[in-house]
Every structure is written in C-alpha cells, then in structure tokens.
A = this chain, B = another copy of it.
C-alpha cells in the first residue's frame, strides 16, 4: 500500500474513548455528540475537503481499529482517559505497527497515559496534575514549525486541568509549545516525536471537564498537527535484514 499523493484527501481517523460523555452529565453537556465529534469537527473546519475524517470509539468491535481501518488511515488521533486498560494489547500492537510503518499519530491530553503512547515513548509518561480550573497559557517556542501556524501567542485557555513537569517523556525531537498554569507550573504541551517512519505529536490541552475542543486555537493546533503528520513513505514497519556486500549496486537488487 502506498501513501496517497498529497493531492488526495488525507485519511483521518479520530479515536475517542467515549465514556465520560456517556457517563458524566457535565461532560455530556459540553460534548453532546462526544469529544471525538468535537475533535473531528475542528479538523474538518480547517482542512475541509483536504481531509476525509472518520470517528471510531472504544466500544466498537476491535475498538474500531481493525487492520483494514488502519491501512486506510493516514493520521490517527487518540483521546482516552478512564479506560486505558480496556484497550486490548492486540489492538495496541497493531496501532504501533502502523505508526512505526508511517501512520501519523496525534495524542491528546490524558492520552499521555494510553498504552500506545507509553509503549512508543518507553518511559513512564508520568506528570503532576491538578483539576482546579487553572488558566493555561500555551506559548509557541518554535515559530517556524507548521503546527504553530496561525496560533495566537499566547493561546489562552481560560480553564483547564493543570499538567506540570516533570513530564517523563524522552526529550521531544521538536518542542513546539510550552504551557504555564495560573498555579505556576509549566508543561511541555506540544511535542514532536518521530518513531520508525511515523510522525507523532502530543498536545496536552483537552480535559473532559472543560470545553477545550471547542476552542478555536486548540482546533487550529490539532488541524495543523494532522496535516503535518501525513505519511511521506509507503506504509511498512522497518525490518531487519542481511545484505551482502554490494547489494545496492545496480543490478544486484535491494
């Protein structure tokens, strides 16, 4: 399977845990169609016909992430919180294989503790937190990065859960955003990683208790990230192989 030419619509799959929205009245009020729908709307708002967006959720068969679904996905976004442990190891291994093979992955907020993010990072992905309506300011520190295009300096989120350092991740390949909170904590809130042939972006704003995914600036960041994470090569996980001397010479095949 090959990556589509850049003229083809980007095939985006928005994955949502979809539990808080069905179990907590407050969250349902903020996100009547589910948080995944708000994320998808934000992407569509910015990418329009350049993207073909689907949403899938935890309680679908195979969590909606069959081999076929992933093979038909250029970029996957991930929001989970309450039910990380209910995601099957088999599906996690499948998603990982696709990311290492080139599929883009955008991990949102509490997704820092998802199986897929932790297995790709190799670290604990732990952090400090507090859910007391801190104001979050998101500062761009990489103004040349396409994920920061059109994002206000600072991006102001009036109420948010606090996520604070030390955030136990590998040093990002590119650090795009740093947040401060009204309580004084800071957080590396926009982090680029490359793993295998896949491009990964972690973006921390987005707690279920606040209308963060309706925020124009947040939607802009997520849409930028989805566009940026487009695969650049044919899907296929890197592999090991024995290569005789001169294998790359014309006529020797590779």
A residues with a Cβ closer than 8 A to B are 100, 102, 113, 119-124, 126-130, 132, 134-135, 137, 139-146, 148-149, 153-154, 156, 162, 164-168, 170-171, 173-175, 178-186, 188, 193-199, 232-233, 237-246, 248, 250, 254
Q: Is the CB of B232 within 8 A of A146?
A: yes
Partner among B100, B124, B134, B153 whose Cβ is within 8 Å of the Cβ of A168: B100
Chain B's nearest CB lies how many Å from the CB of A134? 8
- Asked if A142 and B171 make an inter-chain contact with CB atoms under 8 angstroms apart, the answer reads yes
A141 in contact with B165 given A186-B178, A194-B170 (CB within 8 Å): yes
A180, chain B: closest CB distance, angstroms: 4
Q: Which residues of B contact A102 (CB under 8 A)?
A: 144
A-B CB contact pairs (8 Å), 6 listed: A135-B184, A137-B248, A148-B233, A154-B248, A168-B238, A173-B174
Do the beta carbons of A180 and B170 come within 8 Å of each other? no
